[in-house]
Amino acid sequence: MQRITLRKDWEEQVTPEETTKHREIIEKANQREYLLKREAEFLLKYDKKTRSCSDCGKSYEDIMSSGRAWMYATAPDRYGNDLNIGLFVRCFKCSLLHAVLTCGMPE
């Protein structure tokens, strides 16, 4: 399993209070097994500020400004609907490349 990577300057992108809130939301969500919409919005915003692709190392801003894409990770709300809560481990381009390298080209 690929590990989540953070930007080298991630601590400059968020405040200590945001990092604390991030941890608290994750702890609460793990206990109750769902997220509230405002929590999901915060987690996604936090990821966009702090994450980098685990393969190419580019930040969310670099990926999006170059016309590339990044898929979102989801989690359920209390009704079972998927909420976007964060970014996949790899940007979309690196995810496709990884799939081709591990599974081969489709025929």
CA distance 10 to 2: 19
Classify residue 62 by burial, with Cβ atoms within 10 Å: 0-12, 13-18, 19+. Answer: middle
Contact 8, 53 (CB under 8 A): no
Domain ranges of the chain: 5-103
CA-nearest of 105, 90, 92 to 2 is 90
pLDDT band at 59 (very low <50, low <70, confident <90, very high): very high
Q: How confident is the model at residue 61 (pLDDT cuts 50, 70, 90)?
A: very high
Handedness of CA 37, 84, 2, 58 (dihedral sign): negative
Is pTM beyond 0.75? Reply is yes
Structure tokens at 44: 């996604």
> What is the rounded average pLDDT of the residues 79-93?
96
